[in-house]
Amino acid sequence: MKKILLATSAVVSLVVAVPASAADLPVKAPVYRPVAPACAQFGGFYVGAQVGWAKYDHRWSDKDAWAGAVDDDLVGDRWNTKSGVAGGVGGGYNWQTNCTVFGIEVDYNWSSIDASNVYTDGEGAPTDTLTVSSRLREFGTVRARTGIVVDNVLLYVTGGLAFARFNREWTLFDDGNGLTEVFSQRRWRWGGVLGVGTEWAVTQNWSIKSEFLYMAFERDETSFLSVIHNPGVTQRFESQDSVWVSRIGINYRFGGGPILAKY
């Protein structure tokens, strides 16, 4: 009986002692592993350049029949369309939350697209002509853009203000009398712009973008005093301009984040 009691006391002492000893052992803290983002990071300031193809539409109307004073068979309104290369520079800032991006972008571009045409009376010699020319020389935008990032590609919509400089010229030639009258004008116009685009993060700082924009500008009415074909009478021309732009570009982001982090 005495041996049994001694054995029982020994077991109880061992059971009590083991937890106490374990409590004195150092506890190893779990290793912290930061959770990586599920998509590329586009946040922060960036600058870039772009080049592409622009289609310029110039719709005009001879409000007071200036050409009709020479020949009533000359047209009084038409829509001239021409295309050409346009390129420029830009920059902006993006705010990114998870895989959603909102940003502001400004760009400035140069072109030399001449939407011009020569109209005749269609009656053979002598041939009276009206030449209408409108050149798109410079344009730019101030836009907001928002979208989502899928892997390392940003898909976005964009819209805001557009501005452009148009150089216009109207030339009326009276073949019967050998008289020519010319009126020209240079003017900046404001308008609106809408578009869609993609931007592909190639490295932490560099990305390639593609963009499609539509710009429509405010209606423009110009007047001048005729001195040859309709002397002393004020003539008015009305213009409506729009531009489609398809382009690619490259951006450099300052302090760019990871291209794509995987779990």
**Domain limits of the chain?**
41-253
Question: Which two structure tokens, joined as six digits, stand for 231?
Answer: 């002397």
For the chain, give the mean pLDDT.
85
Mean pLDDT within 125-134: 86
* The model's pTM: 0.81
CATH number of 41-253: 2.40.160
pLDDT in tens, 47-106: 999 999 999 999 999 998 888 888 888 888 889 999 999 999 999 999 999 999 999 999
What percent of the chain has pLDDT above 70?
Answer: 81
